[in-house]
Structure 1
Amino acid sequence: MPQGPAPDGLRDRAWSRWLDPDDRTLAVLLLTPAALLLAVIIAYPVARLFYTSLFSLSLTSGLPARFVGLENYTLVMEDPVFWETTWNTLLITLITVPGALLTGLALALLANLPFRMKWPVRLALLVPWALPLAFAGLIFAWFFHSEYGIVNDVLRRLGIQGVIWFNSPNWAFAAICLTIIWKTSSFMALLILAGLQTIPRSLYEAADVDGAGRLRQFFEITLPLLKPSIVVALIFRTITSLQTFDIPYTMTGGGPGTSTSTLAMYIHQNTVSFLDLGYGSALAVVMFAISMAVSVVYLRVIRS
């Protein structure tokens, strides 16, 4: 028998379920737009990137795209420049992430001191973070210039011979790492400062009553309660460090040779300069996989 329209009571209950949803329904409603947005801006581009990496597609050859499967990934594994740029990227990460963390922690503790005028100190933290990466690279390339750079000028005034920074792989790498630490430590400081603001003052007052000194308070109160903020800062800083491009590109262009080239610079060279979209996409997929692996490690640390 054909059923008639739903009774008014059922329609009212359905509307009330949507207007006053339970926790599960509310979570689905709130997360659906974010999930769709992530699918559009992340999932589709990554899937398209992987699809392109399965083809031999060089715009300079004039040949049509040809499906080669995983051949591009085999070439990546046999490419010595890939391994060199990957090692440079990992080395930059291993040096600059702890360096930025320690510097950012010191800056955050300084900005959290009970100054009467706190805003100039906290505003100073925003300057390096707000400065564009390429602009920071150009500024420090001038700082480390062998003839008229401020770094060599200070060294000469101290009676120390100046260094030709960008002619030596080691000195050029050191200059890049110092620049990245300066640029990114303010970001770490802002996140850690936000964590410091959430620590109740009553804990320090109780520790003072118990006779705990400043050093003991730092290790037994401040650091444990800062762990969530530090881990979040490390996740963001590590991911962006693995994708380092602007500062090495503007300071040295990857030289001398390829001694300061990063994986992101090598991807840019293959896709933009050489127009080899298939091989460049395979390199980008590998970098994405490395970034995801590091993210998984950090997320497991947070969960534990």
Structure 2
Amino acid sequence: MLSKLRDPTEKTLAVLLLAPAFLLLLLIVVYPIGKLVYNSLFDVDKTGLFLGLTNYVDVVQDPLFWNATKNTLLITLITVPGALIVGLGLAMLANLPFKRKWPVRLSLLLPWALPLSFAGLIFAWFFHTEYGVVNDVLSRLGLQTEPTSWLLKPNWAFAAICLTIIWKTSSFMALILLAGLQMIPKSLYEAAEVDGASRWQQFWEITIPMLMPSIIVALIFRTITALQTFDIPYTMTKGGPGEATETLAMLIHKYTIDYSSISFGSTLAVFMFVISMFVTGFYLRHIGKNAS
């Protein structure tokens, strides 16, 4: 055994080098997920007895779960493509040959670096009924005579939250896409210009295909965080009016913290984990395969 460690083979060396990473993976990924599943199967709040799938049946029969899941998926479907489109535009703008590029790229970092809860508070003030910026601007332009209660109406509150999330996350998409844009050889564009390709043709035939790996990475990270949306809706509306803007993460927080039901909250978290893995697998299996 000692001789193998002193003069290891390639296989032994690979095991030794990968062992710390494997142990770290067990510690920060496998153990928390296993603990989550364990809590969902046992009554950890009171008796500690084995409940089996009782919590899972209760979750499926809970209308609040379906409402929160619908809101979460709708936020994901709206904000992920929105952030991608806005982020792509910002990335292409930042990639232009400015003499001084750092102010443009710094402006991309600021929304991303801003805490989520702080962004929610800022936009909650923007959409405030009495002294919000949005109502003030609309009144000055003569587009409304009375202030609109943006965050007190379900549809408008949902739209305001989606707009806030797009503003906050588009800079993250832009940073990833900017790195991808800088990896595209300029010779491809020069050759396309010689062949008479327009800017629009260059964008669809060169930029998008070459940028697709970066787009896939950005979509995976953004989608997973969208499915876990909590801070912005919580600080803007607390899930209201009613449960119109309550997300799955907010429902988990409600059951776990407010109702002190760790077992049921863990079951909801398992459902969120399964949804996240399903969406990520979809990206890798379908969209990622087409990009390779």
Question: Structures share a fold, TM > 0.5?
Answer: yes
Structure 2 partner of 1:219 = 204
Structure 2 partner of 1:52 = 39
Structure 2 partner of 1:3 = none
CA 1:195 to 1:141, structure 2 compared with 1: closer, same or farther past 3 Å? Answer: same
2:266 maps to amino acid: S
Query: Distance between the aligned counterparts of 2:100 and 2:221, measured in 1?
Result: 30
After TM superposition, list the pairs within 5 Å mapping 1:138-287 onto structure 2. 138-161=121-144, 162-287=147-272
Structure 1 partner of 2:85 = 102
SS at match of 2:19: helix
Structure 2 partner of 1:127 = 110
CA 1:124 to 1:90, structure 2 compared with 1: closer, same or farther past 3 Å? Answer: same
CA 1:26 to 1:118, structure 2 compared with 1: closer, same or farther past 3 Å? Answer: farther
Q: CA deviation at 1:210?
A: 1.2
Query: Distance between the aligned counterparts of 1:64 and 1:265, measured in 2?
Result: 26
SS at match of 2:242: coil
RMSD (CA atoms)? 1.7
Task: Calculate the TM-score normalised by the size of structure 1.
Answer: 0.90
Q: Which of residues 32, 37, 54 in structure 1 aligns to 2:24? A: 37
* Unaligned stretches of 5+ residues in structure 1: 1-5
CA 1:297 to 1:165, structure 2 compared with 1: closer, same or farther past 3 Å? Answer: same
Q: CA deviation at 1:163?
A: 1.7
Q: CA deviation at 1:15?
A: 3.7
Structure 2 partner of 1:83 = 66
Question: Which of the pair has more CA radius of gyration?
Answer: 1
Query: Distance between the aligned counterparts of 1:103 and 1:25, measured in 2?
Result: 48
* Unaligned stretches of 5+ residues in structure 2: none
Q: CA deviation at 1:160?
A: 1.4
Query: Distance between the aligned counterparts of 1:299 and 1:35, measured in 2?
Result: 23
2:33 maps to amino acid: V
Q: CA deviation at 1:152?
A: 0.9
Q: CA deviation at 1:143?
A: 0.7
1:134 maps to amino acid: S
Overall identity of the aligned pairs, in % = 66
Q: CA deviation at 1:30?
A: 3.8
Structure 1 partner of 2:120 = 137
**Count of aligned positions:** 287
Query: Distance between the aligned counterparts of 1:120 and 1:27, measured in 2?
Result: 45
Task: Calculate the TM-score normalised by the size of structure 2.
Answer: 0.94
SS at match of 1:198: coil
1:102 maps to amino acid: I
Structure 2 partner of 1:67 = 50
Q: CA deviation at 1:25?
A: 5.3
